[in-house]
Structures are given as structure tokens and as C-alpha cells.
Structure 1
């Protein structure tokens, strides 16, 4: 019996949709996903470079532990030479923070290859250098302990689970200071549209408050209960 896992087939998301998602706040994208009953948050993953934001197609990578007493070098990160430009690398080390799965050398290569960012279900190191480069990095933890000869590459291009949420290669990763989430490829266009409406609704509410309207009145007038429907005036919403 074969032990190979089937590679999930997902629709190709047009670059225009990815670019629209890149301009949106993750809070708005999360609201849009909620409106469709889709879990998107990659729980436990935090921003490591303040102000950095990104969106791109997920390129998934899975690590597994190895016997640290061995002397063989495992070349754990050589996969990066083949990551397509415009991707966000999603690394699954089962959430372990015992050793690192990303550092400054990989960041330098990622920038040269036009990789848009990295999401680690695991730990990073060299954070000061990565911040200096302004590279979008998100991880479960931070440690100085090398992953060399502690982990090895198990697979690329297979679905992974991060914080209880499934990420498939080709899904859209959106990340900013709030954290990271995944938008399933087949819902990317609708999520982008709904998230844009969320931001339109909240902009309308903020403008009304600035003009002196009470918060509760502004929320009712512009439909805060369902912001993904877009802003509307009081005569259109009760």
C-alpha cells in the first residue's frame, strides 16, 4: 500500500484577487470569512516584524524530527531554492518551539526569490536581522536553537494544519500585525469582496462618529451587524 498522500487540487487564484487581499486588514478578512462560516485564523502564529504585512499563495512545507545524536547533515531547508516567486512559505513543524525552522540566511534567499513572507508553525531565530530586512515573518515562537540535525524536510506541497486550521498549497495567506489567516482558494474572490465591504462600512461609521453621531446610532445606520453587506443609510437598514 502506498504511503504517499494525495496532493490537494485547489483552484488557481488570480493575482488580482491576491493583490486585493493584500491591501486589506486581517480583521476585515476574518469578518468576511466568519460571514461564510469559514475558519481562517492560524491560531498561535504571531507577527515578528512590526508593521510588515503580506498576502500570497501558500507554499507548504512539513518538517519531522530526527535523531539528534546522528552525524548526518540533513539539508532541511534546501526546498527554498524551488519556491515560486509571490508565494508565502507555510512551514509546519507541528508547532514545536524546541528548535528553529527559519533564520536570516533563509530570509536573504527568500527576498532574492521574491517570496512574500513566511508563516511558521514553529520557531524562528535571527529576528533582529529579519526585522532590519523588513521581511514579513510570522511564527509560533522564537528560539536560538538550530534546527540543523534536529529536524528534516518531510514533504512539500501537501496540506498542513496550523492552529487547528487546514492550509492547502495554493490557498491565500493574509498576514499583518494581527497575525495570520488562510483564505481557501475557492472562496478568495468572494472573501475579498466582502472584506472590502467590511472596510467600507467601518469607514462610514468612523466618518459619522467624527461628525458627532453617537456610536450606537452610527452602527445602526450603516449596518454594523452585517458589515460585509456594505454601508447603507438608515432608510435602507433598520
Structure 2
């Protein structure tokens, strides 16, 4: 079984933890990158997660195969600090995450889970305050319906590719992926976006018109952190 290991530096993960996904999205836009993983909804309000992606792919159990088929046993191999990204091709007919996996993930030091499919045991997961994002919710088990296809393989969510080691950042706004080789640049630009917006907010609170404040501090390209004119 192939495993993916976190590659993004601890410093970059820490800096990303301080950022809102909106600022990161603007930074991705500035580089012409699409990082929004559409259709993924936060299941634990107020939770957020940041960490390198550990990718997991499922496939349907073949109808001709008999006997019990467990959905997957990969979680013991996930490195601490990772965000598990599960790809079941947005299929919500059965689940790919639940309460037991959440307990193991917590013990393993996993930072959160993104499910391109469905999850269950949502009340239990909310009680654990575990960051979970999924396309859907269901009570139907994945046992005898899906099985593990691969770990450590790139997956596609909508039109966006997620590779092992890419940086995942998710909050109440949704889920973003930052390509590993672009992480430093994106985070630096996102930090500039937040500083620019803070300057605009402070100016407005002092009575300056919004349009003037936006013009003064370079709202059109906040990642450039234009100086006051």
C-alpha cells in the first residue's frame, strides 16, 4: 500500500492556520489557480482544518464478488498532521466516513477529513468537534458497497486535482486546495490580502468613504499591498 506523507513545511501550515479561506481564494485568483473544491459542505459549524492532503480513493464492490467486504482499513497509516481527502466520486448512495473513523483519526493526530461523497454519525462527529467536510450525509454503510481502490493517488473533485501533499484549508466557507509547489507564494499573497483589507476596514471606521479607502489601499489587487497614495 502506497502512503503519502506531509511535505508542506510546519511553518507554512502554521501561517495558513491564521488565514481565512476568502483571503486564500483571492491569492489563488491572483495566480490564475482554481482551488475551490465545489460541493463540499462543513458538517461541524465553526471548525476549520489546515494540513497536507492524504488521498484515498474508493471503487464499487463488483456485483459478482461474494462474501463480506469491509470498506477500507487505511487510517492507521495516515501521518499525523494530515487532512484525509476521500474520493468516492461524489457518490452519496453510501458513506465513506463515520464516528469510528473519527475516533481513530483523533488518536492518530489527523487534522480533519474531506469526503467527496457522504458521511454519517454526524452528531457524534460534531460532539467530537472534528473538522469534517462532505458532499452529502447518509446513514447507509459503505460495507459491501465500496472498497479501497488506492491511497496516495491524485484525485479530482469537480475540475480540481488534489495531489498527495497539496495543502488543504477549509472552514465554514468551504474547502480549498493549494498546490504544494505554490503554497509559499499563495500564503504570502493571502497574508497581504488580509492586511490590505484590515487597512480598508480601519479607514472606514475612521469615517473615510469606502470607495476612497479601497482606492487608497489597492483593493483591486490586495495581494500587492499597495502603499497609501
> What is the TM-score with the length of structure 2 in the denominator?
0.95
1:46-57 mapped onto 2 (5 Å cutoff): 46-57=41-52
Partner of 2:72: 77
Whether the 8 Å CA contact 1:200–1:231 is kept in 2: the answer is: no
Partner of 2:149: 154
User: Following TM superposition, by how much is the alpha carbon of 1:118 offset from its aligned partner in structure 2, in angstroms?
Assistant: 0.3
Whether the 8 Å CA contact 1:10–1:185 is kept in 2: the answer is: no
Q: Distance in 1 between matches of 2:63 and 2:23?
A: 43
1:28 to 2:23 alignment: yes
Q: Distance in 1 between matches of 2:31 and 2:82?
A: 25
Partner of 1:209: 204
Unaligned segments of structure 1, at least 5 residues: 1-6
* Cα offsets for 1:175-215 (capped at 9, x unmatched): 00000010000000011100000000111111111111111
Partner of 2:110: 115
Partner of 1:226: 221
User: Following TM superposition, by how much is the alpha carbon of 1:23 offset from its aligned partner in structure 2, in angstroms?
Assistant: 1.4
Q: Distance in 2 between matches of 1:10 and 1:193?
A: 23
Q: Secondary structure at the match of 1:99?
A: strand
The number of residue pairs the alignment matches comes to 227
Q: Secondary structure at the match of 2:19?
A: coil
Q: Distance in 2 between matches of 1:82 and 1:49?
A: 25
Q: Distance in 1 between matches of 2:114 and 2:93?
A: 17
Question: RMSD over aligned Cα, in angstroms?
Answer: 1.7
Partner of 1:4: none
| Structure 2 CA distance for partners of 1:174 and 1:69, relative to 1, 3 Å | same
Unaligned segments of structure 2, at least 5 residues: none
1:136-151 mapped onto 2 (5 Å cutoff): 136-151=131-146
